[in-house]
Amino acid sequence: MCGIVGYTGPRKAVPILIDGLRKLEYRGYDSAGLAVIEKEGLIVDKAAGKISRLEEKIRGKNFEATCGIAHTRWATHGEPTTVNAHPHFDSKEKIAIVHNGIIENYRSLREYLEKNGHQFGTETDTEILAHLIEEYYEGDLLEAVRTALVFVEGTYGIAVISANHPGEIVVARSGSPLVIGCGQGENFVASDVSALVRHTRQVVYLEEGEIAHITPDDFKISTIDKVAISPNVQQIEWSLEAIEKGGYDHFMLKEIFEQPTAVANAFRGRLNYEEGTSRLHGLTLQYEQLLKINRVLLMACGTSWHAGLIGEYIIEDLARIPVEVEYASEFRYRAPIIQDGTVAFVISQSGETADTLAALREAKRKGATVLGICNVVGSSIARETDGGIYIHAGPEIGVASTKAFTSQIMVLEMIGVLLARMRDMSIEKGRQIVAAIKKIPEQIEGILSTSDRIKSIAETYAASSNFLYLGRGINFPVALEGALKMKEISYIHAEGYPAAEMKHGPIALIDENMPAVVVALKDQVYDKVMSNIQEIKARNGRILAIATEGDTEIARMVDHVIYIPQVPYHLTPLLSIIPLQLLAYHTAVLRGCDVDQPRNLAKSVTVE
Ligand code: G6P
């Protein structure tokens, strides 16, 4: 999410900054900006839209500056406008800052600063930080940044310059990566090595809670608590293309592995353990309006539709509100019935899917309140809805959606908990769910660590022409999504079915050449799914089961098992889908398929 570049040295800074931004454009591209220190002071230029817009804006300007910072943005707080673009500055326009991450306590910091006379020109959390640094500035930029950060809660990777300190850059990291590039008489900073590898392959990764003071000839790293750190200079060996993919072979694999962070970003700052509920300000509905909801409509396409199906189980079970899930493409051409109390959510990673946009407009026309669950800030769907919740998964580049899916489920879980706590759910149950949500990133991490084993399982099945995916209850949509992933990228025909429906047709297909992937977790339908497994075995079918840790019985009945930790029922899809994503990925790679750009598919389907 978002990209940062900085330079200090003898060369003109602007071409280096622009080139660095271009390398980071895949991380965010809704607005961009730069700040450099000229003789007359700080010069800031910004533009909404892609980096080319910023380039157009500065074309013809003669920059002499040899020190500066730049940013390409993936908006979180505030619309992706020129005003909200980074860098942001303090009230005297002496300090400029670029920031990746989210400052969770920005509201209380803003109130504090307003009481001290600060006025703000943007809706961003980052501007608050610029003013906070100004508040503590007493002639030493490093110390001012250090003091300000003591008061910040949330995540950040920041780079700061000041007109009073030509040639100096201060950077700091907490939860959002930053790397220093070491040159000869010049130094670089970036949120990602791809932005600086053209200039140097000697880098130092800042660790959590570290701050650095950088000049052309030197850089010094310390902790926020002033403990000096000796830098660990590393040599980058990867190719540029590999670097953009963070060392992964494909964007899809990178995005699968980003899921612990992505789902944490989806719930960051939105959970309230004390009250056992969630805070979702983006819904923009008053308490009374939320209480009056008597029907929820979820509309989406593709993977987002599968997230909607999971949302149906979550919201109905937790909040006891009737939910309907519709393909957006079907909804738009029916005569849907919208009554008082109906709230519709449109779910879309891109926020640009034509059918979903049309369904949104149709639902609004008929009087529904329509809210969005989107990833791309400022997208058409985000703009046209009455409110909504961003999933904050960061740019998703692989055509087959992975991290957006789990982040959408996380948001639906929080909606379910919020609506449930306003109705029948007890505070104790709410707290249990909130506590369980917080453990999910770590549990996903654990499943990802079995990727090599899943690859060896994929080798067993990669030559198959057909796959059957089975699941029940909330894991039935997981079976659908697992099958979709497999067919999208490996071109193997794969069908997802509710396990009990197998006997009404698909069982006719089962033989030793048609493997079945069965999600068989220890839940209320476990015994039923085990019967399905026996039926498959009786017909010589091969089975890969996704099972609950500790279930040794299943291992005796199936050919392969991948275990996931026991979590509350509604959270199981967040874990059970991970091995299925990896299975599809490894199978596609083994078959030599173009994983990131599968044939005939598009990332964002903006036509009907
Ligand atoms: C396309 C993509 C899918 C995605 C679907 C819906 O088909 O290839 O990965 O799930 O569109 O996209 P949206 O952006 O609306 O979630």
Assess contact for 413 and 397: CB atoms under 8 A: no
Q: What is the pLDDT of residue 1?
A: 58
pTM: 0.77
Mean pLDDT, rounded, for 436-464: 97
Distance from the alpha carbon of residue 358 to the mean position of ligand 1, in angstroms: 15
Grade residue 23 by pLDDT with cuts at 50, 70 and 90: confident
Closest CA to 86 of 156, 150, 139, 140: 156
Mean pLDDT of all residues in the chain? 93
Atom of ligand 1 nearest to the CA of 350: 14
Q: Is the pLDDT of residue 552 over 90?
A: yes
Summarised one tens digit per residue, pLDDT across range 505-534 is: 988 899 899 999 999 999 999 999 999 999
Ligand 1 contact via 356 beta carbon (within 6 Å)? yes
Which amino acid is it at 407?
S
CB 109 within 8 A of CB 164: no
Packing angle of the helix pair 302-319, 476-490 (nearest 10 deg)? 170
Q: State whether the beta carbon of 307 lies less than 6 angstroms from ligand 1.
A: no
Of ligand 1's listed atoms, the one at least distance from the Cα of 602 is 8
Mean pLDDT of 197-210: 91
How many other CB atoms are there within 10 angstroms of residue 119's CB atom? 8
CA 354 / ligand 1 centre spacing (Å)? 10
302 lines ligand 1 (CB under 6 A): yes
For 90-144, the pLDDT digits (tens) are 999 899 999 988 888 989 999 999 999 999 998 888 999 999 999 999 999 999 9
End-to-end CA distance of the chain: 29
Q: Which atom of ligand 1 is nearest to the CA of 601?
A: 8
Is the preceding omega at residue 506 within 30 degrees of 0, hence cis? no
Which of 252, 303, 403, 480 is the best mutation target for the ligand 1 pocket, counting ligand atoms within 8 Å of the beta carbon and taking the most? Answer: 303
- CA 541 → CA 219, 501, 512, 513, 567, distances in Å? 62, 17, 5, 7, 29
Q: Say yes or no to pLDDT of 62 above 70.
A: yes
Catalytic residues: 2, 603
Q: How far is the CA of 349 from the centre of ligand 1 (A)?
A: 7
Is ligand 1 within 6 A of the CB of residue 436? no
Q: Ligand 1 centroid to 26 CA: how many Å?
A: 18
Which of the residue ranges 218-227, 332-341, 569-578 would you say has the lowest mean pLDDT?
A: 332-341
Segment 575-605, tens digit of pLDDT: 999 999 999 999 999 999 999 888 887 777 7
> For residue 387, how far is its CA from the centre of ligand 1 (angstroms)?
21
184-200 in b/e burial notation, b at 16+ Cβ within 10 A?
eebbbbbbbbbbbbebb
Exposed/middle/buried for residue 464 (C-beta within 10 Å: 0-12, 13-18, 19+): middle
**For residue 352, what pLDDT is reported?**
84
User: Which residue has the least CA distance to atom 7 on ligand 1?
Assistant: 302
Q: Is 304 in the pocket of ligand 1 (CB under 6 A)?
A: yes
